[in-house]
A and B are shown apart, each in its own frame.
Chain A
Amino acid sequence: MTLSTAVDRSAAHRPPLAVQVVDWLSRYSAISTTVLLLIVAAIVTPTFYDETNLRTVAVQTSALGIVVLGQMVVLLVRGIDMSVSAVVAVTGVIATSAAGGGANIAISLAAAVGLALMVGLVNGLLITWRKVPPFIATFIMFIVVSGALLAYTKAQTSGSAPAWLRRVGSGSIAGVPLPTIIWIAMGLLLFGVLTRTIWGRYVYSVGANPEASRHAGVPVFAVTMSAYVLCALCALVGGLMYSGYSGYIDQNLGNNVNLNSIAAAIIGGVAFSGGRGGVLGAAVGALLLTVLTNMVVVAGLEIYWQLIAQGLVLIFAVAINGLRDRWIRDTA
C-alpha cells in the first residue's frame, strides 16, 4: 500500500528491476509460495490430497490461523505476544480437568475465558501502564502461566479431551471441518471490524504512530489493551481447537505456537513495526506454514525438516520486508 503510492509519485523514473522484484515478492510471495507448494505436492506427494490428510491440514491451519488472528492484531499495534503458547496449553488442561471433575461445559469454558481475559489484561497493563517492552511483559506472562501449569500438572500428560471438545474438533458441516468454519467466521468478523470500524482505524493508527494518534485523540491505552485481550481470547479458541482435534491433553501442545503464530503473521505481510498487514495475509501465512509442515510429514522426511523449513521461511519473509523498507526509506 505504502509502496504503491511511492511508485506513483516517482513514476517519472521506474524503479530498478531488483526493487520491483522485491516489491512483488513482499506482496505476493506468501500466496505464490503456497500455490507452488500445492502444485509440488500434487506431483511429488499425491497422498497430500487424501481426504484424511486434507482434513488434517484444514484443522491444523484453522487452529493456528485462529491464534494468528490475535497475534496479528497485537503486531498491528506494535506489540508482540509471547504468551499465546502458554494460553493454548493451559486452555486444554482446564477443559480436561473440568471434564474429569464432572463439571459442566459452561463452567470449564468460563474458567478458560476468565484465565485468557486475565492474561490479556495483565499483558496490556504491563505494556501500557508500566511501560514494560511487549516482548518482556508477555514473556513474563508466559513464564508465569506455563509455570502454573507445570506446578498443577507436575509435568504429567493427563487425560483425554472432554467429549464435547472432541466433537468440535472432529465435527464437520457440509464436509467442512468445524474448526475451519470457526476460523473463517472469526477471520471475516475481524476483517470487517478492522477495515470498517473506528476500533479498526484506531488499531492501524496506533501501530503506525502511537504518539501522533494520542495527539489526535485516539485512546491509545485502551486500544493497546484491547489488542492483547483479543489476542489471548484468540489463543484460547485456538487452544480449544488444538485439543479438540488431537483428542488428548498435552501441556506441550502449545510448544511451537509462539514461533509459528509470529512467523505466519510476518510471512503474511504483517509488519513487525506495526500498522501494516491484514487478515487475508495472516490467513495465507498460517496456511503456508501448515502446508509446509504437513508436506514434510507426507513426503516422509524427518520431522526436523519442519522446524528448519519454518525458520527459513520466516527469515526469508523478514529479509524481503527489510529490503523493501530500506528501499522505501531510500526513496523517501
Chain B
Amino acid sequence: MTLASPVSTESGSTEPLLELRNVSKAFGGVQALDRVNFTVLPGEIHALVGENGAGKSTLVKILAGAYVPDSGEVIVSGESHATLTPQRARAAGIAVVHQEFNLLSELTVAENVFLGMLPKGRLGAVSPEKAARLTTAILARLGSDLDPRRYVLQLSVVEQQLVEIAKALAGNARCIVMDEPSTVLSPEELKVLYAVLHRLRDEGRSIVYISHRLSEVFALSDRVTVFKDGRFVSSDNTVEMTEDELIRRMVGRPISELFPERVPSIGEPVLEVRNLTVPGKLFDVSVTVRRGEIVGLAGLGGSGRTTLARAVVGLEDVAAGQILLEGTRVPRSPGPCARAGVVMVPEDRKAHGIVAGRSVAANLSLPSLRRFSRAGVLSFKREQSMAARLIAQFGVRPASTRVSIHNLSGGNQQKVVLAKWFDTSPKAVVLDEPTRGVDVGAKSEIYAIIEDLSARGVGVLLASSDLTELLGVCDRIVVLREGRVAAELNRSDASEESILRAAVASGTSDEPEIAPQAPQSRTEKQ
C-alpha cells in the first residue's frame, strides 16, 4: 500500500477521473436522480450545488456504494461499474466524507482511519503502534498534530472531519467526495479545511465539494455543477460563473420569492427565558419573544440553539433561571407545556418528530388526544375530521389521513409535525430547524405557515443554521456563542456577515452591541 505517495499527475491528461452517465435512482415512485451526467477531472476541486432535494445526497450515496442506481453507469478511471459496493468504491479510489460522520466514537483515531484495513505488525497481528505511526504521518500531511491514540468521542467536529479525510487518504483515495462539510465549521476551521483541500488537489487528487454556500463555491472550486430536482443542469468553470446566474440555475426563481410578505404586528411579551442555565450547555441566557413576533436563534453547531429550544419545553435539566409564558412559569415536560400553550418542534424529525409506522391521523392527534375523548375513550369521527382539516389547511400530500407517515416526503412529514400542534392553540411556538432536509416547495410553504402563526398573534422562536432563512423570516435575531447570548440583532441591522461575526467572535473588548428592543415601526399593536 502506497499510503504516503501522492498520485502521479501527468500534465495534459484530460481523461475524466470519475464519470456518471445517465444515472437514475427512484425511491418508491419519487425520482431522486433522473438520468444525470457528472464528470470529475483529475486534480480539480469540483463544487456540486443545488437546493435540498436536488439529488446531491443520493449521488453521494451512490458513489459511496450505499445505493444501487436503477440505471446508468459509473466510470472510474475508464472502468465502468453498473453498481458500486463500498469495497469497489474504495478499491476504485473513491472516498466519501459524509455530512454525518461515519466514525466509531468508541475506537481511536488511528483505528478509525484504518477501519477494515488495520496495518499488521509482527506475527500477522494488528499493530496499534504501527497504525498510530501511519496515522500521525497522514495527519501531518494535512497539517494536523492530532494524537492518533485519542478516542473519537473526545474530538471536536473539525477534528472528526480531519479524521474522515485522513481515512480517505489511508485508502489512497484519488477522488474525495465531501458532503456539505462547511455546515458544522466556524470560519477559522473552514480556513484549515480549505488549506487541506488545496494540498490534496496539489497532490493530484480530485475533490467533489457539495455545498449550498455560494461564497465558498466561488472561493474554493475550479468547476461547479448544478443539480435541480434530480436533474443535471450545468457544469462550468467557476471563474466563468456569476453568483446570480448560479442562484437562478439552482432555485429557478429569485430567493426573495421564497419568503412571504411580512407585516408584523408585535404585542406584549409572551415567552420569556430569563437567565437560563443548563449545566455545560447554556449559561445565563435571556430571550424574550413577543406576541406576533418571530425571533431567530442563530449560532454555530454546539452553540446551544437546540439546548435552548429543548429547555423551553422541559427536555433539559435546568440548573438556574426561569421560563415564563405570559408571566407564569411553564411546566417541566412537553405534555403539560402544550396544555399551557408553548410547544416545540424538534430538530431531528425522524428521531423526535414523527412516530413512524403510525398513520398521519394518529400523528396529528397525538398531542391533543384529550380533546377527542370522553373519560379516556376516543371519538374516531372527531379525530378524523380534525386530521382531514389540518391536512387540507397545511397542504399535506397525499391528502390521506390513513397513510403511514413514513411514506410521506420529508417536507410533508415536517408539515404534519408542525400541524399537530396547531389544534392545541399554542401561544408560543419554538421551531428547531423546521426546514432541514425539506425541498424548496415545502420550504416556502413552511415559511408561510410560520408567517401565518405570527399573524395570529403567536410568538415564534426559530432556531436555525440557515442564515438566509433567519434573515428572510425573522424580526429579530438572537445569536448564541458557546452557550451565551453573543448578540441580538434587529432585522434591519442583521446580515449574514454580522450574524457570523457575532457567532464566532473571540469575545475580547469588542462586545457586539445589543439591540435594546424591536424596531419601533413594528411595536404598534394591531
A contacts, CB < 8 Å to B: 1-2, 5-6, 8-10, 12, 196-199, 201-202, 204-205, 208-209, 211-219, 275-276, 331-332
Contacts and interface: CB of A to CB of B under 8 A. Distances in A.
Contact of B335 (A2, A5, A219): A219
B173 to A, nearest CB: 28
B428 to A, nearest CB: 15
A217 B338 contact: yes
A201 B370 CA distance: 11
B12 interface: no
Contacts of B337: 217
B146 to A, nearest CB: 33
B355 A213 contact: yes
Given A198-B370, A209-B356, A6 B404 contact: yes
B406 interface: yes
B369 A198 contact: yes
Contact of B358 (A8, A196, A219, A275): A275
Contacts of B346: 215
From B355, B370, B402, residue with most partner A Cβ within 10 Å: B355
Given A205-B358, A213-B366, A216-B334, A12 B378 contact: no
B367 A208 contact: no
14 contacts: A10-B28, A199-B376, A205-B355, A205-B366, A209-B356, A212-B352, A214-B333, A215-B315, A217-B336, A218-B335, A218-B366, A276-B357, A332-B27, A332-B407
Contacts of B96: none
Contacts of B313: 215
Interface string B338-379: 110000101000011111111000100111011001001110
Contact of B403 (A8, A204, A205, A217): A8
A71 to B, nearest CB: 20
Interface string B383-425: 0000000000000000000111011000000000000100000
A216 B367 contact: yes
A9 B407 contact: yes
Contacts of B338: 217
Contacts of B407: 5-6, 9, 332
Contacts of B366: 201, 205, 213, 216-218
A246 to B, nearest CB: 37
Contacts of A212: 351-355
A196 B377 contact: yes
Interface in B111-169: none
Nearest to A276: B357
A275 B358 CA distance: 9
B252 interface: no
A215 B29 contact: no
Contacts of B339: 217
B358 A204 contact: yes
Nearest to A209: B355
B378 A196 contact: yes
B332 to A, nearest CB: 12
B446 to A, nearest CB: 18
Nearest to A11: B29
From B29, B334, B357, residue with most partner A Cβ within 10 Å: B357
A217 B376 contact: no
Contacts of A199: 376
Interface of B (DSSP majority class): mixed
Given A196-B378, A198-B376, A205-B355, A214 B334 contact: yes
From A198, A212, A219, residue with most partner B Cβ within 10 Å: A212
Contacts of A2: 357, 404
B335 A332 contact: no
Contacts of A204: 358, 362
Contacts of B420: 216
Contact of A209 (B315, B354, B404): B354
B404 A275 contact: no
Given A211-B352, A215-B344, A276-B357, A197 B378 contact: yes
A201 B378 contact: yes
A224 to B, nearest CB: 14
Contacts of A219: 333, 335
A332 B353 CA distance: 18
A331 B28 contact: yes
Nearest to B421: A216
Nearest to A13: B29
A201 B369 contact: yes
A131 to B, nearest CB: 15
Given A5-B407, A201-B378, A215 B358 contact: no
B71 to A, nearest CB: 14
A45 to B, nearest CB: 41
Interface string B203-240: 00000000000000000000000000000000000000
Given A197-B373, A212-B353, A275-B357, 5 more contacts: A8-B403, A198-B373, A208-B357, A216-B420, A331-B28
Nearest to B404: A5
Nearest to A210: B355
Contacts of A198: 369-370, 373, 376, 378
B309 to A, nearest CB: 11
Contact of B29 (A1, A9, A211): A9
Interface string B53-77: 0000000000000000000000000
B31 to A, nearest CB: 12
Interface string B7-46: 0000000000000000000011100000000000000000
A8 B369 CA distance: 28
Contacts of A332: 27-28, 406-407
Contacts of A208: 355-358
B343 to A, nearest CB: 8
Contacts of A197: 373, 376-378
A203 to B, nearest CB: 12
A63 B339 CA distance: 42
A10 B335 CA distance: 36
A215 B312 CA distance: 12
From B27, B356, B404, residue with most partner A Cβ within 10 Å: B404
Nearest to B365: A201
A263 B378 CA distance: 31
A201 B378 CA distance: 9
Closest 3 CB pairs of A and B: A217-B335, A5-B404, A209-B355
Nearest to B335: A217
A5 B406 CA distance: 10
A76 to B, nearest CB: 12
Nearest to B357: A208
A213 B365 CA distance: 12
A331 B407 CA distance: 10
B81 to A, nearest CB: 21
A197 B379 CA distance: 9
Given A9-B29, A197-B376, A198-B370, A211 B351 contact: yes
A90 to B, nearest CB: 32
A332 B30 CA distance: 11
Given A2-B357, A209-B355, A213-B366, A9 B334 contact: no
B339 to A, nearest CB: 8
A191 to B, nearest CB: 13
A218 B407 CA distance: 23
A194 to B, nearest CB: 11
